[in-house]
Structure 1
């Protein structure tokens, strides 16, 4: 049975968070003399809203998630790190991942001195059966990560699978949906009401084209959100990033057009290279990338580097596989020409 009080670190429960006059005051101030800021207006002379309420309201409308269920992080990596700091006791707790998957989970676990338990995906990169998973995670708390669509494999997992694992695990299940905007799979935010131990992570870095602004989102029950807000830096999202996010989220036509274009390019690119003698297999993908098994991935990787094209080498985790992001039509054409010659 999930009990947030039991899995929250004692020092975090006892923590008195930093509180600024800016976060305490709820009215409409005329003069700000509380934070030792430079008073001469530049557009950046004031600290940003510590809770990013204007941005959360826009995200709330788009994602159909109440503001109280939203955390905004400096990239989704901040949310991942804060979850470790809040709910994993160093040298005592465990974190669980399904490999191969996003490498930052392991890095954050190591930084926070948390034992990481890897559970191998099936050969087709599907999740293992619940009968296989349960004995490993049972009687444990901490964090369990499910990346869906998964990076670097590109495949998604069903809500039924996620819910079954969430019902079995007494800790927090983190569903990383960085690529959900490219997927036909509906976001798992719909299961939050039934599963108080689920945290959904999304980002504006991929489909929304704001990787440089570092805007990550976590959706969870209000008690978890309150803990993340309690331990985050006071002003974790800067004014420029908030403005960029607000402007980008208004451009719904551009967002949809770019997403359609990228998905069309993914299909065209896949069709163009799948008969290449260099290619052994192209894995199904719900993301804006393809995991491709080559007959000699090392040779292809260095061939592309010599042409100034950088892709992601995944051969250490998946034999002879490269992960290739879908670029513009012109960029993809250059790659196609090299791979089909």
Structure 2
């Protein structure tokens, strides 16, 4: 989830603490308490350093891994609370607790997104993906701004903080329940969409867009190397939009095993689709996460250029990775534009990709 949303969730932790305890706003202790909650809510994204001092592939390997793991929940809390206690003149337990609550909002919200996080490592290496929240959720920002405005107008905190908390919790619960409902509808419709034989062996996934309505969700069905893509009507009925056969040629296997980008995509992406293109002497292997789709474009993608050798193998020429980004306008319009119409899917080219195009 984006950092602005995480910061607003941390601010919500602080506001709830003030409203529940009646602690006065102002002074070093209150300022340190606010800082502890907000910094705690941002702390797990310290893995951004892998992007600043490395590259996109290094960042992909690190993102939401060790930095979001169970031992670091406590490490962040003690470091943040301990450091701020010098400023506040004590109150270490309070500051550590608020920092820990901020960290928990970060972990919980990330676990509900499309890519999830390995939150319980080292107990388990499983990546928890809730597929319920979008990568950015403006409602949490709006609620934080409403809270600030009402506080500035002098309203008593308990009178608006707890209702805002309730709205945030209800919205999150609605998102989770809606996702489960759409998954159930998709399972029931599988024989109609892919046939009874494929329905018994396929994997399915429902991913959210920005708006919290059925029409703003996408689905993917995978059976071996065949992918079915679609959306949902406002009533939750799945409608097919595209069908793709993922390439399995030797060039794809070579790219997945012998390029950094290919290995990273195979490791990180739960549903990977591959497509081959020939451009002169180059064989271009395009990879994409089937779960990240705006209209007819798969945006979380990679491209690997290969040249054939005399012995029938390949050598790597170029490679590039395009990380997922948030497109607010596309995400909003995605619930209506071309819903249910057949389309030809495109795999986006990575930025800065040098392939002679």
- TM-score, structure 1 as length reference: 0.30
Structure scoring higher RCO (CA < 8 A, sep ≥ 6) equals 1
Q: Which has the higher helix share?
A: 2
- TM-score, structure 2 as length reference: 0.29
- Specify the structure having the higher radius of gyration (Cα): 2
